[in-house]
A and B are shown apart, each in its own frame.
Chain A
């Protein structure tokens, strides 16, 4: 048994729902008890979808167990097919139905339903949401792809690609597709199919007509892409175009595979991020310590952007999806940090507190952790929240995605000019701890948490704390208070570390400035 307070991923059948909901003409019959319908609200509330997910829950109760849950399943299948008339029916079990072993696949197969039936075996007690989504998409492709469909001869037509991986409840998938399509269009490449998002079973049937695949989200699309490579000899592009460097690499790889000129897309005047990063106002970003956590793909991309494109220092890097841990390990080695592979958010919280970053790039979980610790944060990855579905165009991929990322990551930080002003006017009351930076709604203190004191896990050394415990002289402590609050925590820690390394009993004014000189960058 694993003790879980909050989880990064839902069960695998929620992954299957993300695929079914993304597609058109598909229905998912889920053998499940009452209550599992909660998953509908993820789509209708968080993503604001205007239609219910195409899912029928058989809704068995305790009194049905040992009697006839199988016929309940078959009735639900008949009703769902009659009402929704899907082009393909996915059938599977949620965690509870898996235990009662009704064999949805066998039951549905015996019914002679008027549409293809795709059975899903998603082991709920071993696997999680992303795996469930990848497996579901793979099964759909495997069952529906017509292996006789091949690309037409290349003469006289533009290259044709499939974009694989975008799904419902994905982090900015909707906008990423639009941006990647724009790039492909500049290169003179046509998109044959985007899947699962927006694809119908009939679309999937012709998936073999594309010259190659682009795996935008390996967590969901890679399993299917590998099968397509084996079956159709369709090569796949696996470079994920998040960040300027990755986008350029992506364009070069795609152009090489398609036999087109990459320059058509490389010199995009809309790519503002490089200049924004080089301009002098961004100088203050240099060496800012960032802690990065998310799904492996987004976390690795974020680390590269942080390191190469913004000049940050990566002080922590991790992911919650073990299946892609190797990518994180490789990247962590590059940045000289310990990789953090865990789906226990308390462990992540401890790691963040210990790393004392100046910016957290994470999921909604890390946003809450950062809030409690009083550290700025930007969200880079699923699991998602209603605010991760902005009304405006807001991609992560491509040059526009890099522009968006620059804004999203830099705005939570104190702006360059403002930082200088804070130093100049730090004795003014407007810049006192209580006032806080104007762009953070006037509070940097952790917001009041409704739980009793015992519920709050604030690490003393991570919050911008006051001196007092470690033998600070009154004079040194007064001086410490003059240091702007947003660096005071670090100054305090550094000074105390310095003092203990030097074996000093008390921290004086001298110690404070000796430590400052010692740690000067």
Chain B
């Protein structure tokens, strides 16, 4: 038994065959550009320049919701009619925009050129542009630190919502320094987490006795951790398939674990990491016991409200499977349909193994048909995007906005209660309203 499976989760064993309903049609999901909204908060000296259309700029400000920054660290270079007239012109224009931007924002250390649907369709080679512009910025003025220019695509024709982060982190992997030969075994935690959650995990790893811990993405460009065959990586987010592949190309080895949601999920995740470093099981239990107990106590409060309630996830962030596992195993909810835009079977194996038998799992989307199923199922709660929430509420179906699950701190022991609260609140609201 692997360490992950030996945890106390109420795992329901499944045979290897997993039936998945695959659908193709209209998708009510954001494109990968949306990831910029949280990525730019995480990487504090990075700027994200989308090369796209007015639609891209409009999407970003609509998804960001409020315009709290005078000059945020993202912007759109809007392609115009005259740029489409000739490609040479387009590259010159991009150079001009980037130079102006870097002159205006000298504190920027990493600039991501982010491809969009239009830039992909006109085959604007942003990787090439990044190289060309990057060569001019290897060193800053007076020999100061230069600007690293990278390119990835967040286009809707290639990426769904959180896959934008996957594409972004993938471009960072080749930039990571190689670990010294004979380096001690190190742990790499992968996936954007709010700083407060990241720090909680780093404290726990230190207490467990894992000495060398790196984080991808790093908060600053200069702090990229090193990587090599002695690196064991642990995914904190379930949507990082390409990043994982790039890490493995550099020799890193994945630690298999369920994702760190809830008391048991987080315990299993930490236990799996500790096992990979050969840490004594007694010590592991001692270290994680206080947090796990706190999380269990916090979850206990929500059980009366959530146990036995039926829930459907519409595809959005790829967090759906681990979240459904958490709600089913730790709070007694009944997943009816769990939709995900893309199902990464290997990364989600530990979570899938713990899903209740008979859960309908769907991949991809035909939104009209899926909504027909929601209307037929009438779950107590439907987790969906912002475009669908009010219309479903108007039909008498309680909803939870999925975007909050991506923007809020929900991983780890000390957020387990907050995570349960996100699902409990809409139900409580439904019950308290007399209007």
Which A positions have Cβ atoms within 8 angstroms of B?
Answer: 1-7, 9-11, 13-14, 33-42, 44-45, 48-52, 56-62, 65, 76, 79, 83, 94-96, 99-100, 123-126, 128, 346, 349, 364-365, 368-369, 372, 449-452, 454-458
User: Do A62 and B386 touch (CB < 8 A)?
Assistant: no
User: Do B55 and A10 touch (CB < 8 A)?
Assistant: yes
In the complex, A476→B101 CA distance in Å?
41
Mark B353-389 against chain A: 1 for CB-CB distance below 8 A, else 0: 0000000000000001000000000000000011111
Known: A33-B31, A454-B105. A76 touches B26 (CB 8 A): yes
The one of A14, A57, A456 that contacts B58, using a Cβ cutoff of 8 Å: A14
In the complex, A9→B44 CA distance in Å?
29
Enumerate 21 A-B pairs (CB-CB under 8 Å) in ascending A order: A1-B96, A3-B76, A3-B78, A3-B97, A3-B100, A4-B78, A5-B72, A9-B54, A36-B31, A37-B28, A38-B63, A41-B387, A48-B390, A52-B387, A57-B27, A96-B118, A123-B81, A125-B83, A346-B71, A368-B70, A456-B71
Question: Which chain B residues in 41-83 approach chain A with CB under 8 Å?
Answer: 44, 51, 53-55, 57-59, 61-63, 66-81, 83
In the complex, A393→B51 CA distance in Å?
42
User: Do B97 and A95 touch (CB < 8 A)?
Assistant: no
User: Do A59 and B27 touch (CB < 8 A)?
Assistant: yes
In the complex, A34→B75 CA distance in Å?
21
Question: Which chain B residues in 85-106 approach chain A with CB under 8 Å?
Answer: 90, 93-94, 96-97, 100-101, 105
Q: Which chain A residue lies CB-closest to B89? A: A1
B394 cross-chain contacts in A, Cβ below 8 A:
50-51
**Interface residues on chain B, number (Cβ under 8 Å):** 68
User: Do A34 and B391 touch (CB < 8 A)?
Assistant: no
In the complex, A44→B80 CA distance in Å?
30
Which of B33, B157, B158 has the most C-beta atoms of chain A within 10 angstroms of its own C-beta? B157
Residue B120 CB within 8 A of the other chain: yes
Closest beta carbon of chain A to B138's beta carbon, Å: 22
User: Do B101 and A3 touch (CB < 8 A)?
Assistant: yes
A96 cross-chain contacts in B, Cβ below 8 A:
53, 55, 117-118, 121, 156-157
State the 8 A-B residue pairs at the shortest beta-carbon distance, nearest first: A35-B31, A35-B156, A40-B387, A50-B394, A96-B117, A41-B386, A95-B53, A10-B58
Closest beta carbon of chain B to A57's beta carbon, Å: 5
User: Do B62 and A34 touch (CB < 8 A)?
Assistant: no
User: Do B75 and A4 touch (CB < 8 A)?
Assistant: yes
User: Do A7 and B70 touch (CB < 8 A)?
Assistant: no
User: Do B26 and A57 touch (CB < 8 A)?
Assistant: yes
Closest beta carbon of chain A to B147's beta carbon, Å: 14
A455 cross-chain contacts in B, Cβ below 8 A:
69-73
In the complex, A11→B70 CA distance in Å?
22
Residue B122 CB within 8 A of the other chain: yes
B25 cross-chain contacts in A, Cβ below 8 A:
59, 79
Which of A34, A61, A83, A349 has the most C-beta atoms of chain B within 10 angstroms of its own C-beta? A34
Which of A6, A79, A126, A455 has the most C-beta atoms of chain B within 10 angstroms of its own C-beta? A6
Closest beta carbon of chain A to B50's beta carbon, Å: 9
Residue B30 CB within 8 A of the other chain: yes
Closest beta carbon of chain B to A472's beta carbon, Å: 28
Closest beta carbon of chain A to B336's beta carbon, Å: 21
B90 cross-chain contacts in A, Cβ below 8 A:
1
Question: Which chain B residues in 138-160 approach chain A with CB under 8 Å?
Answer: 155-158, 160
Closest beta carbon of chain A to B106's beta carbon, Å: 9
In the complex, A442→B71 CA distance in Å?
26
In the complex, A49→B390 CA distance in Å?
7
Residue B234 CB within 8 A of the other chain: no
User: Do A83 and B67 touch (CB < 8 A)?
Assistant: no
In the complex, A454→B46 CA distance in Å?
12
The one of A10, A51, A125, A450 that contacts B80, using a Cβ cutoff of 8 Å: A125
Residue B279 CB within 8 A of the other chain: no
A5 cross-chain contacts in B, Cβ below 8 A:
71-72, 74-76
B27 cross-chain contacts in A, Cβ below 8 A:
34, 37, 57, 59
Closest beta carbon of chain B to A21's beta carbon, Å: 12
B44 cross-chain contacts in A, Cβ below 8 A:
452
User: Do B156 and A45 touch (CB < 8 A)?
Assistant: no
User: Do A1 and B78 touch (CB < 8 A)?
Assistant: yes
Residue B300 CB within 8 A of the other chain: no
Which of A37, A60, A62, A126 has the most C-beta atoms of chain B within 10 angstroms of its own C-beta? A37
The one of B55, B78, B157, B387 that contacts A61, using a Cβ cutoff of 8 Å: B157
In the complex, A33→B368 CA distance in Å?
17
Residue B223 CB within 8 A of the other chain: no
User: Do A38 and B387 touch (CB < 8 A)?
Assistant: yes
Closest beta carbon of chain B to A458's beta carbon, Å: 8
Q: Which chain A residue lies CB-closest to B105? A: A454
11 further contact pairs, Cβ within 8 A, besides A5-B76, A38-B59: A1-B97, A3-B97, A4-B54, A35-B31, A35-B117, A38-B58, A41-B387, A44-B390, A59-B25, A60-B157, A365-B67
In the complex, A126→B84 CA distance in Å?
11
The one of A1, A39, A52, A449 that contacts B69, using a Cβ cutoff of 8 Å: A449
In the complex, A125→B80 CA distance in Å?
5
User: Do A44 and B68 touch (CB < 8 A)?
Assistant: no
User: Do A7 and B121 touch (CB < 8 A)?
Assistant: no
The one of B66, B80, B101, B156 that contacts A34, using a Cβ cutoff of 8 Å: B156
In the complex, A454→B32 CA distance in Å?
26
User: Do A34 and B70 touch (CB < 8 A)?
Assistant: no
A128 cross-chain contacts in B, Cβ below 8 A:
54
In the complex, A32→B389 CA distance in Å?
22
In the complex, A368→B70 CA distance in Å?
8
User: Do A3 and B75 touch (CB < 8 A)?
Assistant: yes
The one of B26, B121, B389 that contacts A100, using a Cβ cutoff of 8 Å: B121
Q: Which chain A residue lies CB-closest to B78? A: A2
B240 cross-chain contacts in A, Cβ below 8 A:
none
Residue B29 CB within 8 A of the other chain: yes
User: Do A10 and B54 touch (CB < 8 A)?
Assistant: yes
Closest beta carbon of chain A to B335's beta carbon, Å: 24
In the complex, A4→B77 CA distance in Å?
6
In the complex, A134→B388 CA distance in Å?
27
Residue B199 CB within 8 A of the other chain: no
Q: Which chain B residue lies CB-closest to A38? A: B59
The one of B31, B57, B81, B117 that contacts A7, using a Cβ cutoff of 8 Å: B57
B195 cross-chain contacts in A, Cβ below 8 A:
none
In the complex, A62→B157 CA distance in Å?
5
Question: Which chain B residues in 114-143 approach chain A with CB under 8 Å?
Answer: 117-118, 120-122
Residue B107 CB within 8 A of the other chain: yes
A123 cross-chain contacts in B, Cβ below 8 A:
81
Closest beta carbon of chain B to A378's beta carbon, Å: 17
User: Do B67 and A42 touch (CB < 8 A)?
Assistant: no
In the complex, A89→B76 CA distance in Å?
32
Closest beta carbon of chain B to A379's beta carbon, Å: 13
A83 cross-chain contacts in B, Cβ below 8 A:
368
B101 cross-chain contacts in A, Cβ below 8 A:
3
User: Do A34 and B67 touch (CB < 8 A)?
Assistant: no
Q: Which chain A residue lies CB-closest to B120? A: A62
In the complex, A465→B271 CA distance in Å?
55
B390 cross-chain contacts in A, Cβ below 8 A:
44-45, 48-50
The one of A33, A38, A454 that contacts B62, using a Cβ cutoff of 8 Å: A38
Closest beta carbon of chain A to B311's beta carbon, Å: 21
In the complex, A341→B66 CA distance in Å?
24
The one of A7, A51, A52, A94 that contacts B61, using a Cβ cutoff of 8 Å: A7
In the complex, A5→B267 CA distance in Å?
42
User: Do B385 and A41 touch (CB < 8 A)?
Assistant: yes
User: Do A33 and B155 touch (CB < 8 A)?
Assistant: yes
User: Do B156 and A126 touch (CB < 8 A)?
Assistant: no
